[in-house]
Amino acid sequence: MQNYKFLDNINFPSDLRKLSEHDLQKVSDEVREEMISAVSETGGHLRCRFRSG
């Protein structure tokens, strides 16, 4: 796993609640990057869009 500015410091939901909306967007970018990296190493499928509802 790479070193991430935000993900490396998130251990509990309360850690996310302390972040600004701008920083939460950065967290989501890091999560996406890590997911793509993990899938590329282990194989599998990662859907490009997530749908809710």
Residue 48 belongs to some domain of the structure: no
Residue 36 belongs to some domain of the structure: yes
**Tens-digit pLDDT profile for residues 9-34:** 999 999 999 999 999 999 999 999 99
Query: CA 16 to CA 9: how far, in whole Å?
Result: 9
Residue 2 belongs to some domain of the structure: no
Number of domains in the chain: 1
pLDDT over 80 at 50, yes or no: no
Residue 47 belongs to some domain of the structure: no
Residue 24 belongs to some domain of the structure: yes
Task: Specify the pLDDT at position 51.
Answer: 56
Give which of 17, 37, 14, 19 is closest to 6, Cα–Cα.
19
For residue 39, name the pLDDT band (cuts at 50, 70, 90): confident
**Domain hosting residue 30, numbered range:** 7-42
Please calculate the CA angle 13-4-9 and round it to the nearest 5 degrees.
Answer: 35
Q: What are phi and psi of 4, to 5 degrees?
A: -120, 140
Residue 52 belongs to some domain of the structure: no
Which position has the higher pLDDT, 38 or 47?
38
Which position has the higher pLDDT, 48 or 30?
30
Query: CA 41 to CA 1: how far, in whole Å?
Result: 11
Residue 37 belongs to some domain of the structure: yes
